[in-house]
Chain A
């Protein structure tokens, strides 16, 4: 009788939130799905027209492809930069630990508009990068850094890095330090020990962090639109344009569903990898 054990609360306590989300989260998604099958904005006919229009259009497919590719680039850069931070965190004294965690948390809780605004200041024509390069005589006219792919990837990596570092800290912290000590004392060098022992054992953290970073990077509407600018179109802005500016709700609904499915597919792949890696890490 789990229900009467003093330590268990009744599952019924979860019903208010369950009901709330059923009405205001699941029902809207159902409406979205229904609307995506409307053949025209008036809703006089139903069919797969909107999906056909998206999948048959090279431009639309390239927006989807660019968005998914952007996530890959940002995730890889975040992993490359974030892993050493998490690794260093597990090996420094308590004072430095506190400092590192504050530095990692600050961007996580600072307004996204503020963080993105910072990148406009850095990458702009009169920004710090152009000023330094010009004063060193490397360039004579300001480079166009903002509204470029590289600028956007770096800005997104900074904005999303906490999501990568926090799970990595947990995963690396869980590794038994005796394992790398054993590897070192048995004659493996520091690099080999890292690649063969630490890195594989931290795989669950890498996967969890990558999933969060990837999902956040491809849906980061504000950063994409402000640092990416008008030339680069990604799925969130595409949805917004179709829904708000063009008032084409059925098509906006269909792209939303396609985007939702793409995000869910990525999450499921990461979850599967995560399950495999946990078995591997504990074996």
Chain B
């Protein structure tokens, strides 16, 4: 009897907190989606009525379009550089037990741990010490530094799951290194590289601390534009924009889950 009560109270406690936590995780996203369809002028929840007016307003918000294009361009370039440099680096350090590989692994991961804002400031100081003005190029370089760890980590993880006997087989059957890489290694680790690239892209698109210091006055970035809009006034257009971003994020997660098993790689 006591045992039953114990088991019951334990599972009840775990279950209740878990459900509360899951609601807490979903609620903000759901509330933003609902508020974005408001017919009113404020962020009141629940909304007084529903309409698409703020999505229509978003259509004409050219400043946001401009900022979104900049963010997409920078994220695309930073992802491209991250995937090229990160995949090579992942291959180089993954199966090596040398000290140099261990040290480089530490170096490649450190941009994730150090506060990005301090890095953004130090980059600005660095470029200004060299006499280089901030530009889209410095922005892309800064983003690459903070995004490349995701690609390295996912490439190394994918390589560690690769069965070495496959490569030995391929080599013993006479395939050269490049051929083995192209036909065996790359197809098997491609989902890992894709997942890493996806996370790198999302984190670049969302980056504020590095962009704050490394963008020039003409290069408005979407998250900074949104942040500054929110600091000033609570604009409902931002809710509609958030709605668009949420839907795109969910769609991308679904696609990536289908092709790369994203959730297994992150857990």
Q: Which residues of A contact B (CB under 8 A)?
A: 2, 6-18, 20-22, 24-29, 31-32, 35, 80-82, 84-85, 87-88, 98, 100-122, 124, 126-128, 131, 157-158, 161-162, 166, 169-170, 189-191, 194, 215, 218-219, 221-222, 225-226, 235-236, 239-240, 243-244, 249, 252-253, 256-257, 259-260, 263-264, 267
Contacts and interface: CB of A to CB of B under 8 A. Distances in A.
A18 B22 contact: no
B171 A6 contact: yes
B141 to A, nearest CB: 5
Interface in B116-132: 116-119, 121-126, 129
Given A124-B43, A243-B121, A259-B115, A14 B101 contact: yes
Contact of A113 (B17, B223, B263): B223
A162 B124 CA distance: 31
Contacts of B144: 20, 24
A30 to B, nearest CB: 8
B167 interface: yes
Contacts of B93: 11, 14
A111 B244 CA distance: 11
A9 B178 CA distance: 11
A253 B92 CA distance: 34
A119 B45 CA distance: 12
A281 B42 CA distance: 52
B10 interface: yes
B95 interface: yes
Given A6-B171, A6-B180, A14 B31 contact: no
B245 A110 contact: yes
Contacts of A263: 113-115
Interface in B60-109: 85-86, 88-89, 91-98, 100-101, 104, 107-108
Given A13-B91, A14-B101, A158 B24 contact: yes
Given A112-B208, A243-B121, A244-B212, A158 B18 contact: no
Given A80-B17, A189-B7, A260 B208 contact: no
Contacts of B13: 84
Given A13-B92, A81-B17, A169-B267, A122 B31 contact: yes
B56 interface: no
Contacts of B88: 13-14, 16-17
Contacts of A239: 117-118, 121
Interface residues on B, range: 35 or more
A104 B202 CA distance: 16
Contact of B29 (A9, A85, A106, A189): A106
A13 B245 contact: no
B30 to A, nearest CB: 9
Given A21-B108, A121-B35, A267-B113, A105 B253 contact: yes
A32 B121 contact: yes
A217 to B, nearest CB: 11
B22 A103 contact: yes
22 contacts: A14-B104, A18-B89, A18-B104, A20-B148, A21-B107, A27-B126, A32-B118, A87-B18, A88-B15, A107-B29, A111-B206, A111-B223, A111-B242, A113-B206, A113-B226, A113-B230, A116-B230, A118-B242, A128-B45, A131-B46, A189-B7, A239-B117
A271 to B, nearest CB: 10
A106 B27 contact: no
B258 interface: no
B7 A190 contact: yes
Cβ-closest 5 pairs across A and B: A118-B28, A14-B92, A13-B92, A6-B171, A28-B126
Contacts of A9: 91-92, 94-96
B14 interface: yes
Given A16-B89, A21-B145, A127-B43, A105 B245 contact: no
A88 B21 CA distance: 11
Contacts of B234: 120, 124
A215 B117 CA distance: 13
Contact of A260 (B95, B118, B129, B170): B118
Nearest to A192: B6
B113 to A, nearest CB: 6
A118 B26 contact: no
B218 interface: no
A90 to B, nearest CB: 11
Nearest to B176: A6
A176 B51 CA distance: 53
Given A31-B122, A124-B234, A8 B96 contact: yes
